Chains A and B, each alone.
Chain A
Amino acid sequence: MVSRKIGAKRHYMNEQVILTLYVAGLNPRSERAINNLRQLEGDYLAGRAVVSIVDVLQRPERAESARIIATPTLVREQPRPERRIIGDLSDKETVLKALNIGEIGSL
């Protein structure tokens, strides 16, 4: 069990984060999403995130079991509850807020 900061604003600062990014092949949109995610990981999640990327064209059954409709979709599997962010993640502020993993003020 990892310790968790207790407070009005819960930011999972020290918790493990599991993220899965679903993309459809290597098109410009996928690449943008992957780059945005890498940047985010480097800036906010260094060392405490497990990030995997699934190509739905190669692994459609993964898209099926996760019920993914749109690509790219980023799924925050841990911490619970699950959250889904649809799009190429170019709107970083929204992504950070949705993932709830960093101080927005630090951007």
Chain B
Amino acid sequence: MMVELDKLVTSIPGFDHIAQGGLPRGRTTLVSGTAGTAKTVFACQFLIEGIVRHEETGVFVTFEESVDDIRNNMLGFGWDIRQWEAEGKWLFVDASRGAEETIFAGDYDFDALIARISHCVDQIGATRVSIDSLAAIFTIFPNSQTVRNELFRIGAALKEMSVTTIMTAERTDEYGSVARFGIEEFVADNVVILRNVLDEEKRRRTVEILKFRGAMHRKGEFPFTIIPGQGIVVIPLSALELKQRSSTVRITSGNPALDAMCGGGFFRDSVILVSGATGTGKTLVSTMFIAGGIQNGERCMLFAFEESRDQLFRNATGWGYDFETMESEGKLRVHCVYPEVAGLEDHLLEIRRLIDEFKPDRVAIDSLSALERISTIKSFREFVLGLTSYIKHEEIAGLFTATTPSLLGGESTTEAHISTITDSIILLRYVEIYGEMRRGITVLKMRGSMHDKEIREFRIDLHGMHIGRAFRDVSGILSGTFMYIQPNEIDRMRSLFDGDEP
């Protein structure tokens, strides 16, 4: 087995998850990115989280921005660096270019810089150092080879000081070489890449750990967002481990007949996807799910991305459910959000925050397809993964709805991307029978349980959903290509498979 290197918990939200514990302690990590990828924020936050969460002090070496600019820019995140400086928790090493003229005449080294960093580290007993950014050094000092050698020596000196260091570097392409000036050659042990990519007209920030020498980390790009008051928040998504045990406790779907179809109800910590065309009753299923929970004394939360609050409450009332009272009694919380107001990453964080705050037993989202509109396929899948693993982690039952694009049959794109992530899938379909539109419901998948395989007809009236008998003389409902079968044919087919029924 590989011996894991000691790691320093950065406490940059979500980052330690993908770094599997943090940054290699006592080492230097190169954080590289193109312009505008939040390298300076990362470098600052690295020190700030140390100060705020671990009582670790930090030294910030700036080559690019002036000390005052950094202090002012970080105020926007609610970070008052001046205060930490006054408390002796933060020291600047100002290596930014001054106004004075500089001329080069002969050999030089960076011993003065090393002496200054070392002096500052000693002065406040710093454990974290950020150097921002290496690219600027190369523009100040003309001889790149000398600078490279000297940076290598700085790296060695920092190791000697036993501090954990972040050096930021500039790159020109999102998917090109690690950094300009061949920087990766001398601080190559640990590399983190920050990206800000335009993907299908949407900005997407991601962080990727390219390598940690001798240490484990998660592979691939993880989305992150930047929030005032919090800074960088990495969304670990699939990194959230699904180590909670699956519950065998059943909960009601809010409709006894649907419970029966599912073999006795949903599982308590499962995620259910309800897919169907517009008007097939998806909102009703989520309403039943919520009402059923509240009836059993559970706390429920509904996120609506398609309908307004008024509309939603009116619908519920129309089916005989009183959301108003449920909410005033503190058992229900309904959040209506317009999908376009934020990026998916921000929606996810907001949903998580609200769930954290309310601590519901059930969460319904109506509908996921509305969110799909505002994102790329990749980030949508990541979003659903992140959400699913989060609510499973919190042992919450989740019900998501998805809209199919065509009225008859077909599958929703949402469904295609997330069906493997969910535990159960319920399909709602329009069924045409001799010129009349009816509705059908079937449980397509029920992880860990037997379930009714039939497609049953259901009606919607003032008292909600009524599930009836299975469609016997129609086939091709799921695909939307109906075929009517003569009753004697059905009997013949049944006799063929006699005894197969469980």
Contact = CB atoms under 8 A, between A and B. Distances in A.
Interface of A: 22, 24-25, 29, 32-33, 36, 56-57, 60-61, 63-64, 67-73, 81-92, 94-95, 98
Interface string B133-159: 000000011000000000000000000
Given A22-B112, A57-B115, A67 B98 contact: yes
B329 to A, nearest CB: 63
A27 to B, nearest CB: 8
B103 A24 contact: no
Nearest to A87: B106
Contact of A89 (B106, B118, B120): B106
B106 A33 contact: yes
A24 B109 contact: yes
A70 B111 CA distance: 6
Contacts of B103: 83-86, 94-95, 98
A83 B106 contact: no
13 contacts: A56-B112, A56-B116, A63-B115, A67-B94, A72-B106, A73-B112, A86-B102, A86-B141, A87-B107, A88-B108, A89-B106, A90-B105, A90-B106
B108 A86 contact: yes
Contacts of A86: 102-105, 108, 141
Count chain A CB atoms within 10 A of each CB in B93, B100, B106 and give the residue with the most. Answer: B106
Contact of A70 (B98, B112, B119, B120): B112
B115 A69 contact: no
A60 B107 contact: no
Given A90-B105, A94-B105, A24 B100 contact: no
Secondary structure at chain A's binding surface: helix, strand, loop or mixed?
Answer: mixed
B107 A29 contact: yes
Most central of A61, A70, A72, A94 by chain B CB within 10 Å: A70
A92 to B, nearest CB: 8
B106 A60 contact: no
Nearest to B63: A69
B106 A88 contact: yes
Interface in B77-113: 93-95, 98, 100-113
A63 B105 contact: no
A22 B116 CA distance: 13
A106 B128 CA distance: 52
B190 to A, nearest CB: 24
Residue of B94, B107, B109 with most chain A CB atoms under a 10 A cut-off: B107
A95 B105 contact: yes
Contacts of B93: 64
Interface residues of B, number: 26
B100 A83 contact: yes
Contacts of A67: 94-95, 98
A56 B111 contact: yes
Nearest to B137: A69
Nearest to B141: A70
Given A83-B101, A89-B105, A60 B118 contact: yes
A43 B398 CA distance: 85
Nearest to B98: A67
Contact of A88 (B94, B107, B119): B107
B20 to A, nearest CB: 36
Given A60-B118, A64-B93, A67-B94, A91 B113 contact: no
Contacts of A82: 100-101
Contacts of A88: 105-108
A68 B100 CA distance: 12
Contact of A71 (B105, B108, B119, B141): B108
A24 B111 contact: yes
Contacts of A95: 103, 105
Given A67-B98, A73-B112, 14 more contacts: A24-B109, A57-B115, A63-B112, A64-B93, A67-B94, A68-B113, A68-B116, A69-B112, A71-B108, A83-B102, A85-B102, A85-B105, A90-B106, A92-B105
Given A60-B119, A94-B103, A87 B108 contact: yes
Contacts of B98: 67
Nearest to A92: B105
Contact of A98 (B105, B120, B141): B105
Given A64-B93, A67-B94, A69-B95, A29 B101 contact: no
B167 to A, nearest CB: 15
A95 B118 CA distance: 30
A36 B106 CA distance: 11
Contacts of A72: 106, 108
A74 to B, nearest CB: 8
A82 B112 CA distance: 19
B105 A91 contact: yes
